[in-house]
Each structure stands twice: as structure tokens, then as C-alpha cells.
Amino acid sequence: MSFKKNFLWGGATAANQYEGAYLEDGKGLSTADVMTNGSHTQPRRITWKNPTTGETGSVLFTFGGRTNIPVGAIPAVIEGEYYPSHEGTDFYHHYKEDIRLMSEMGFKTFRLSINWARIFPNGDDDQPNEKGLAFYDNVFTECQRYGIEPLVTLSHYETPLQLAIKYNGWADRKLIDLFEKYAITVFKRYRGKVKYYLTFNEINVMDLMPYMGGGLLRVTPQLQAQAAHNQFVASAKVVKAAHAMFKEIKVGQMLAYMPLYAYTADPADQVKVMEGSQNMLFYTDVQTGGRYPEYRLKKYEREGIILDDEPEDYELISNYSADFLSFSCYGSNTVTTHEVDDAAGGNMTTGNVKNPYLKTNAWGWATDPACLRIALNNLWDRYHKPLWIVENGIGWEDKFSEDGKIHDDYRIEYLRENIKSMYDAVTIDGVDLMGYTMWGCIDLVSAGTGEMRKRYGFVYVDRNDEGQGTLKRTPKDSFYWYQKVIANNGEDL
């Protein structure tokens, strides 16, 4: 036994990091459009303007932090600032070339997101923006030409900015119906072209980055809990609509998942692992498992959090859980209750420490050859729903060699180990895995830092951290390696 015959190999992207054309053809601003770039040491910032006084400024965007825009101010694009999302790597004008490159690699699937503000510029408009709809129509037609199955994320850190300003984003129940309307609009429009959808990218980022995950400008634990609840209900409504009206459509959940390891054998560290895992898996327990777990209800009780809910919410959540469970996994995280100097980075996390057994990249993200097998087993055992790895990869500052090529052996080595790990989960453990989409298959802007130099792609895009470059696409060595992997369905790595 090995990967399924129709295993969905491919790559993943997100509109706000890739598309650019941030105001073209009627698109409205999204929350990502007011985020500046950062660096290894400097977090991104959100810029704001006070419409009454004209005063401008910015607030630091930090993991686990509060957005804290000053009272009376609203997030806005400020002259003189640099916003990497505005141009991304210009998929908007390069989609034909990029999809052709994907097909050359043999992609069976391409994960992209629809920028909600391209379809409904303010989020609550009566009518959709035809030009925005037409753009994705063209993209999907191009995919069809090459037999590439799109996997579409409906919301990937791209809440229309107006919804953040008017309603404090997902903290307001109004967004449930607005999102349902948006989803049904695209389901209808792309019928016959798109079969697989994901609702919210890394839904659990609501814990650490509520601005990115839900467009929250004001944040309290109560508002975060409410925003998560509203997203669960919205997800269930969208699954319901898909099942009722568009039988062929499958709607999946998307989780940021990192297996957690204990730094020491101290039982207190094992408890920390258990609690950390609960924090992540709460989101899948509800959206994929169909019920609020007791550990989270107890937490809300302890913290005095009371949800603004309706009895039907829970019927929806239990009857319309996600059709499949997708997740991102870049490596594992190691946690401890002990004092350790060696703090580590990590995908969307804080408070984890360096694992002495693992290598890290320049951003402190640990490469863990066992993590996909562990992640897949944990999720399969808990939910028994088809799984899909929709993000995995390694950020690296690629450099051209003298021969004019990029020899990214480090990337090939990382991917080889990771694919081997998922192969083991399928062949040794019998996990049901639908596909694998490597993150940032064509270089794009980093979500966490806004940098361009943190590259993931099989294809290099000529663009730097200041937004300069020709946007020329150049395949790296990993491009040809992945082409072979797909051709032999992962049998020979």
C-alpha cells in the first residue's frame, strides 16, 4: 500500500500574500492591506488614522498581543509606509504563467484563497463585484485546462477591512450571515470548477492573532471566544448550504497544528503538553468533531466567559461538521514549565523552547522529520475524517549560485523527510490522507514577518523586502525534484 492513485499533490498560496493588485478591479481593502512588513527582529505593524484629527500612527502586531488601535482611530493605509500585500508577487497578472509552471511540476491540485474583499469590497455590500468574480473564474478555467483541481480557502487572514471597522470583525454575529452569503455566491459562480473548499485558514490563530484570524480590533478573551464561536456557526451553515445545494462540494476545516513535545520528563511538562494540545484541538473538536469539549466549557466557566449563542447554533455545529480536516504543519514545538534560556521561534506560537534534537531555520522554526506522522495519527485517531496536509515547507533566504541557479538542497532535504513521514502514516498506520500541498509553491510574502526573503517556493520570484524586482519566475532545483516525486506518486524520494 502507498499513496492513493488519485493523491492530490500540489502547492498552496493565499491571496493577500500572493495576488497583489490590492485595489484593482474594484477590490476593497482587507485587514492584511494595512499591515507593514517586519523582519527577524521587528514584528509587523498595523497602521491607523484618526479620521477626525487626521493623526496617523501604527501599533505593533505581536503574537498573543492586543491590537489596541487608539480610540477614535481606524486601521488605514498611510502614505510613506510599505505594505507587502499590496503587490504580493503579482499572481493577479501572472496567473497564467504560474499555473503553467504548476502544471509542469505535475500538480494535481492548487490551493489558493479568494480574497473576500475582491468579491464583496466592504464585506456587507448587496451585490458582488463582477470583476472580482471574473478574475477567479479565469484562474479556475486555467486550472481546468491543465486538469488541476483547485482547493479554495474562503478566508485566509483577509477579512474585509470595513467589517473589522464596523463590527469588530468576527466578534459580531452579523459576520455569520455575511460569510454565508459570500460562500454561497462563490459556490454558485464556480460550480463545476471548484469542488474543495476550506472555510477559515488556521482557525485556531484566533487564540494568538485575533486580528489576522478574525479582524478583531478590540480584543478580550470574551470577544475571542465569541469570534471563534461565530466562525464555528458560519462554518456549519456553509457546510449545510453546500450539502443542500451543491452536492459535489466538500467543505473542510483548516487547523494550524504542531505536535507538542515535553522538554523534560517532569510530569508538569506533560500536563503542559496536554493543555497546549487542548488549546489547539478545541477548534477541531468543535468544527470537525461537532461538539464543544468539556475542558473548554469549564475554562469558559472559570473565566466568566458567556457566549452570545442560540440553541440552533449547537444543532448546526453537531449536524454540519466539516467534511474533511486539513491542517498546516511545519514542525513540532517543545514546551516546558522550567526556566530555559533557549527560546525558539515557531509557527504562530509563543513560549516554546529549542529542542536540542532538531535543526532550525533562520527564523527559529524547528524541522522535525517525525512530525507529520505524529500529527496525522493524532488527528486520524481523534476524528476519523479524511485528512489533507495543506501547508508544509521551509522558509529560507535563497541565493543564486554563480551558475545562475538556486540549489536549494536544504529544501529538498526538508521535504524528503517530511514526505517520508507522511508516507509512514499512510503505509504503516493506515491514515486516510487525501493530499499534500506544499506551502508557498511560488515565492510569496511571509504572513508572519511580511518579508520577501523568507521564501518557501519551488519557483523563485525576483522581488525583495523593499518591493523591488522584476517579478521574473525562475524554477529552483526543488522544482525538478518535486516534479519527479509527483510523477512516481511519492514512491521514490
Q: Applying CB under 6 A, which residues contact ligand BGP?
A: 14, 17, 201-202, 256, 328, 347-348, 391, 395, 439, 446-449, 454
Residue type, 25: D
Query: 469 CB contacts (<8 Å, ≥6 apart)?
Result: 461, 462, 463
Sign of CA dihedral 390, 152, 28, 136: positive
Q: Which is nearer to ligand BGP, 17 or 168 (CB)?
A: 17
Bridge partner list, 442: 459
Min dist. Cβ of residue 432 to ligand BGP (A): 23
Q: Which amino acid is at 304?
A: G
| Min separation Cβ 19 and ligand BGP, Å | 13
- List the catalytic residue out of 19, 142, 149, 391: 391
For cell 471566544, the residue is 225
Shortest distance, position 113 Cβ to ligand BGP, whole Å: 9
Is 142 known to be catalytic?
A: no
Rounded to a whole number of angstroms, the minimum distance from the CB of residue 17 to ligand BGP is: 6
Residue with Cβ nearer ligand BGP (201 or 230): 201
Q: Give the nearer residue to ligand BGP in terms of CB position, either 156 or 373.
A: 156
Strand order in the sheet with 45-49: 56-60, 45-49, 74-75
Q: Which three cell numbers stand for residue 483?
A: 516534479
- Distance in Å, CB of 456 to ligand BGP, minimum: 7
Is 97 annotated in the active site? no
Contact 88, 445 (CB under 8 A): yes
Cα–Cα distance measured from residue 394 to residue 475, given in angstroms and rounded to the nearest whole number: 16
- Please report how close the Cβ of residue 364 comes to ligand BGP at its closest, in angstroms: 11
Residue nearest to ligand BGP (CB): 448
Catalytic residue (one of 87, 142, 158, 202): 202
Residues whose CB falls within 8 Å of the CB of residue 117, separated by 6 or more in sequence, listed in order: 27, 28, 29, 30, 123, 158, 160, 161
Measured from the CB atom, the residue of 64 and 267 that comes closer to ligand BGP is 64
Residue 418 vs 449, nearer CB to ligand BGP: 449
Of 270 and 350, CB closest to ligand BGP: 350
For the annotated catalytic residues, the residue numbers are 202, 391
